[in-house]
Amino acid sequence: MSPRQGLPLHTRSLTVAISRRPDGRWRARGDVIDLRKNGFIPSSHDLQPSGVIHMMSIELSLAPSSLRLDEITIEQPFVAVEASPATGGECCRDPAPRLLAMKGELLDDGFTKRLGTRFGGALGCSHLLTLFQLMASTIPRALQLEAERAEREGTTHREDRRFFRRAIFVDGHERDPSTTDVSIQLADTHTRPIAEGTPLTSQLEASFEVKTFASVDRKHFRIEELESRERHRTFETIASAPWTHHDALVSPLVGHPVIRGMAARVFELLGKGPKNALLRDNLLQFAPGFIQITGAQLDDYFEKRAQTTKPGPMQKPAVTSLGGRPNSCYMWREDSLVARALARDKTGRESG
């Protein structure tokens, strides 16, 4: 299955960039951006149009020898729910201080579990959680790759020079009224210091890519087709490195829904160790990215509502709640004004 053409719906971008600070520590900056390209979502408290829906960042300072988090900075210039009378003055930025309390923690094997305990569900923001989980997976990998390179080549990167970046892009397109096509692209780029006058492409120490293409049934959110491929390149093999196809490996995910249980199925299929780590990190972004894509597909609902001849209310699609399942995040915790407003309309019906 090759990339397909269709109505562009949504793009989620996640990036993690790592550089060396003047004091020898590492600086890691993670960014998540959600860009809706179609339609809008009405909810109980607001009308969310197309454009930038989320723009958030986490910046960490840590010692490469210990991976202890010495500094944490959070920025959220764009959030889905701003403070208003309808929210009781609450907004998506409110739980961020809980992340700051992770200062002093180690990025070890138990970090993501501790992070989920302190910031998961009703305690935090699902988008910052997704970003921090990605950073926790990316940084130790970058440490290992850079340590091996530095020992082999005997060189050190200049201060404040980025030497590693992970980028993941989740794109959704509407192929037809019943099918949504999704692409997930992961790229790790690791560079080396080079002498002045050396060709810029010789900076490439290694490039690691995973590309996944899926087709999803819109009615049931079920995966109908799934293909994944992976490629590792160096400066010497930029034009010759082959793709490894993982279609057979990921085929057990076909026929299952994207939303609810996707992460557990990915871990069951690929494990938690270093083998297939890049493919795992790619697939773990499927569900959170797909939730955002569904928010750009309300046009069909509005058209059907306008055409209906039946009197009375019409069933709303689930995405009109902005993906806010009870206790899925701080703003959708059970006792929030936003969640209570949704509960009053829990049948998903509105007057036609």
* CB 94, CB 304: distance < 8 Å: no
b/e for 308-346, b at 16 or more Cβ within 10 A? eeeeeeeebbebbbbbbbebbbbbbbeebbbbeebeeee
pTM as predicted: 0.91
Q: Mind listing the pLDDT tens digit for each residue in 7-30? A: 999 999 999 999 999 999 999 999
Q: Closest by alpha carbon to 180, among 220, 147, 153?
A: 220
Percentage of the chain lying above the pLDDT 90 cut: 72
Residue 346 has pLDDT above 70, yes or no: no
Query: What integer pLDDT is reported at residue 182 of this predicted model?
Result: 98
Q: Which tokens is 23 given?
A: 């004091």
Cα angle vertex 98, ends 104, 51, to 5°? 120
Q: Mind listing the pLDDT tens digit for each residue in 136-176? A: 999 999 999 999 999 999 999 999 899 999 999 999 999 99
> Any idea where the domains of the chain sit in the sequence?
9-191+202-304+314-350
What number is the average pLDDT over the span 88-97?
92
Query: What integer pLDDT is reported at residue 342 of this predicted model?
Result: 66
